[in-house]
Amino acid sequence: MALLDSSKHLQDSVLSGVNPDLASERLTASFSVEKLTARLDGGAEHTRMRRAIVEAIESDPAFSRENQYFQSQNERYEAAVRRAVHLQKKMREMGWTENGPEIKYIYRWLSGDIAFLLHRVFMRSISVLGSDKQVAKWIPLATEHQIIGSYAQTELGHGTYLQGLETTAVFDIATQEFLLNTPKISAMKWWPGDMGRSATHTVVFAQLYVHGKCYGVHPFIVQIRSLQDHSPRPGVTVGDIGPKMNFEHTDNGYLMLQNVRVPRENMLSRFCEVQPDGTYVRWGSKKINYFTMTTVRISILSDEVILPLMKACTIAIRYSAVRRQSKLKPGEQEAKILDYQTQQQKLLPQLAAAYAFHFINIYLHELFDRGYQEIQGRNFDSLPELHAFSSGFKAMVTQYCTSGVEICLRACGGHGYSLLSGLPSLYTRVLASCIYEGENTVLFLQTARFLIKCFMAASAGQPIPPSVTYLSSAKPGKCPAKDKLDFLSPDVYLKAYEQMAIRLLSSNAAKLQHLIQSGAKKHEAWNQCTVQLVKAAQAHCHYITVKIFVETVEKLDNKAGIQKVMKHLCDLFALHGIFSNAGDFLYDGYLSGAQMDLVTASYLDLLAVIRMDAVPLVDAFDFTDKSLNSALGSYDGQVYHRLYEWAQKSPTNQQVSPAYGKYLKPLLQNRLSKL
């Protein structure tokens, strides 16, 4: 068998050709990798387009990320600006446009390592929140990069809780201007990207005051730097907030405003306006603002959250097929670490989750496209449901992917800890998503609030949104499974998930009611239940994810082995969830202890089955080596050569460290002379 070739021999072969340990994995694929890739892309023509774009970018040395891991914060920032400027040129050359189908593939490949991302948010916020006149004035300037924008919402003292923002904008009738101020240190804008060094303008969110009355938070366009020499405008203190866990290339900034005046026309006024005499008028629904926030949460999932998990799985699984350690059988060659059950248990559930989230993401986008159409038609009925969906799934997917990437990192042992593995950067990047666009615990509680409402409505026989109709089907019962194979039936595990989600929600509803009846104030009762409410929201999202995975698998083509392998992954995702949360399923006796043993047995069997397809399943994600930028995860599996080659490029090996001459030599010689 090719599998048993000596790895020692292979690893010393020249750095060309695929490591036979990886090649052999690909020979035994049970399905067509190319067909699965096309399915993930949404059709073979999309795959072709994506590859053409990736090829165009990767062949352009200006986009190279080769030395990224060796660069300082300053160098990373400069490279990101350079790349952003070059991208403008490239797009003109290639005939790509901001609204074209190529754009998502371009940004996906860049994976955020580029400046002016907040410039795009700046433009989007003007398009959505600005009047037609404002759009006509600012968008061309921004499109031509005559101005560079940012989006200044978060403050030092306030993040997720927007009403608490402290920056003020006071209307001055005499001059027809708003007077913007940072009244105290905690009100300083803090974190906005592109603002620390690059931006000339920013959208500042501030509490609007007219005639001494506060009208709440509103957006204002504020010029912060000179268009001539880039120096800060009078009254503006602006700078970079310093090093972070990642995003070294982004100049996240601080901004302090002291009596900075902007004309009345700079308040974004699609939905409300301060008229020259100071009259405040509002038109349209406030809810549309929520919808924007809601869509942003969903829009980050694919590129910022699920993609890093897919990349991490690709790196860790390929490395695990190349790394050999210890012996499974005496006298045999050392085993691939992917053959260890404990390694499979770490990695394969993450792989299954990556697929599960890919499908739930498609589902959410469809849901939101439908929702958007309804809202365009002034029908806001689905908003609460969409809001609850976006909150809960943003929280669940970011949390799961973050822990998934970390598991992949640690599953690569010592080498995973090297930046050259690519895994630390993927991890520190994805984990930021747990906080931005709404802190996850807060988001889960928003979903919980919606679910509790729906549950109450269902109990009272009122109609509830389609995604939660299962809440009215609550019937106590027992799981019918008798054999471990029964747990490979989606009906069986879906029912278990459904029961568990309903039970967690109903017990919370009962608890809340009980607390209120025994005299607790509503908000106190809520705070006392929040730990369990978070759990209920998680259970709901988990259930829906399993359900959508099952439905997707049912619809898949059964040719080319794809449906079969996806069914395995779906089963694994579901059973891993039960295995990891056994208590919740055992609690009311829906599953018995004996059945839980069957779940475990079935789950462990699946690991061995999926292991056979593990490498082809990550190959199907179709990442190029350059986009992975990992010494461990390359397609050819030449891990050790690459690690050695890359390490030699480290600046620590290129430059003579002054440390020896300055400190070591005196220390060593000082002692020698005393001998």
Partner 1 sequence: MMNGDLRRERAAATFQPELLTHILDGGAERTRRRKEIEALVINDPDFQHEDLNFLSRSQRYEQAIRKSSLMVMKLREHGIADPDEIYWFKRTCLGPFPEPFGLHFSMFQKTLETQTTDAQKEKWLPLVRGVNIIGTYAQTEMGHGTHLRGLETTATYDPATQEFILNSPTVTSIKWWPGGLGKTSNHAIVLAQLYTQGQCKGLHAFIVPIRQLGTHEPLPGITVGDIGPKFGYDEMDNGYLKMDNFRIPRENMLMKYAQVEPDGTYVKPLNDKLTYGTMVFIRSIIVGDSARSLSRACTIAIRYSAVRHQSELKAGEPEPQILDYQTQQYKLFPLLATAYAFHFVGAYIKDTYRRISGDIIEGDLSELPELHALTAGLKAFTSWTANAGIEECRMACGGHGYSRCSGLPDIYVTFTPSCTYEGENTVMMLQTARFLVKSYTQVSSGQRVTGMVSYLNDLSRQRIQPQHVAARPVTVRINDPISLVEAYKARAARLVEAAAKNLQAELNHRKSKEDAWNRTSVDLVRASEAHCHYVIVKLFTAKLSEISNAAVRAVMTELCLLYALYGISKNTGDFLQAGILTDTQVNQVNQRVKELLAIIRPNAVALVDSFDFHDVHLGSVLGRYDGNVYENMFEWAKKSPLNKTEVHESFHKHLKPMQAKL
Interaction with partner 1 in 635-654: which residues (CB under 8 A)? 640-641, 643-644, 646-653
Among residues 25, 406, 437, 498, the one annotated as catalytic is 437
Region of 96-104, 236-244, 300-308, 373-381 interacting with partner 1 (CB under 8 A): 236-244
DSSP state of 159: S
Site for partner 1 in 297-356 (CB under 8 A): 323-330, 334, 339-343, 345-346
Site for partner 1 in 396-435 (CB under 8 A): 406, 410, 413-414, 416-420, 424, 428, 431-432, 434-435
Given candidates 18, 288, 474, 582, which one binds partner 1 under the rule CB under 8 A?
582
Provide, rounded to whole angstroms, the least separation between the CB of residue 158 and partner 1.
Answer: 7
Region of 18-26, 51-59, 150-158, 367-375 interacting with partner 1 (CB under 8 A): 150-158
Provide, rounded to whole angstroms, the least separation between the CB of residue 95 and partner 1.
Answer: 17
Decide if residue 251 touches partner 1 (CB under 8 A). yes
Decide if residue 188 touches partner 1 (CB under 8 A). yes
Yes or no: say if 357 and 671 are a contact pair by the CB < 8 Å rule. no
Given candidates 19, 153, 154, 545, which one binds partner 1 under the rule CB under 8 A?
154
Site for partner 1 in 56-85 (CB under 8 A): 69-70, 72-74, 77-78, 81-82, 85
Dihedral, CA of residue 44, residue 45, residue 51 and residue 52, to nearest 10: 160
Provide, rounded to whole angstroms, the least separation between the CB of residue 180 and partner 1.
Answer: 18
Could you give the CA distance from residue 231 to residue 237 in angstroms, rounded to a whole number? 10
Dihedral, CA of residue 584, residue 587, residue 589 and residue 592, to nearest 10: 70
Region of 127-135, 455-463, 539-547, 661-669 interacting with partner 1 (CB under 8 A): 661-669
Indicate if 437 belongs to the active site.
yes
Q: Which is nearer to partner 1, 331 or 377 (CB)?
A: 331
* Residue 188: other Cβ atoms inside 10 A: 19
Site for partner 1 in 274-293 (CB under 8 A): none
Could you give the CA distance from residue 561 to residue 32 in angstroms, rounded to a whole number? 7
Decide if residue 668 touches partner 1 (CB under 8 A). yes
Decide if residue 157 touches partner 1 (CB under 8 A). yes
Provide, rounded to whole angstroms, the least separation between the CB of residue 675 and partner 1.
Answer: 7
Instruction: Indicate the pairing of strand 177-181 with strand 272-274.
Output: unpaired
Q: Which is nearer to partner 1, 3 or 185 (CB)?
A: 185
Per the listing, tokens 């068998």 go with 1
Yes or no: say if 635 and 18 are a contact pair by the CB < 8 Å rule. yes
Site for partner 1 in 83-112 (CB under 8 A): 85, 88
Given candidates 299, 532, 563, 624, which one binds partner 1 under the rule CB under 8 A?
532
Site map 5..34 versus partner 1, x via CB under 8 A: ---x--xx----------------------
Distance of alpha carbon 34 from the chain centroid: 26
Q: In terms of DSSP H, where are the helices of 153-194?
A: none
Site for partner 1 in 202-231 (CB under 8 A): 229-231
Nearest-5° angle of CA 253, CA 259, CA 262?
80
Yes or no: say if 87 and 113 are a contact pair by the CB < 8 Å rule. no
Yes or no: say if 134 and 186 are a contact pair by the CB < 8 Å rule. no
Provide, rounded to whole angstroms, the least separation between the CB of residue 624 and partner 1.
Answer: 22
Provide, rounded to whole angstroms, the least separation between the CB of residue 436 and partner 1.
Answer: 7
Question: Containing H/E element for 335?
Answer: none
Question: Containing H/E element for 172?
Answer: strand 168-172
Decide if residue 472 touches partner 1 (CB under 8 A). no
Q: Which residues contact 125 (CB under 8 A, 6 or more apart)?
A: 151, 203, 219, 268
Decide if residue 658 touches partner 1 (CB under 8 A). yes
Q: Which is nearer to partner 1, 26 or 86 (CB)?
A: 86
Q: Which residues pair with 600 in a beta bridge?
A: none
Binding residues: 154, 193
* Residue 127: other Cβ atoms inside 10 A: 14
Report which of 155, 233, 160, 158 is spatially closest to residue 199, judged by C-alpha positions.
233
Could you give the CA distance from residue 109 to residue 443 in angstroms, rounded to a whole number? 29
Residues noted as catalytic = 437
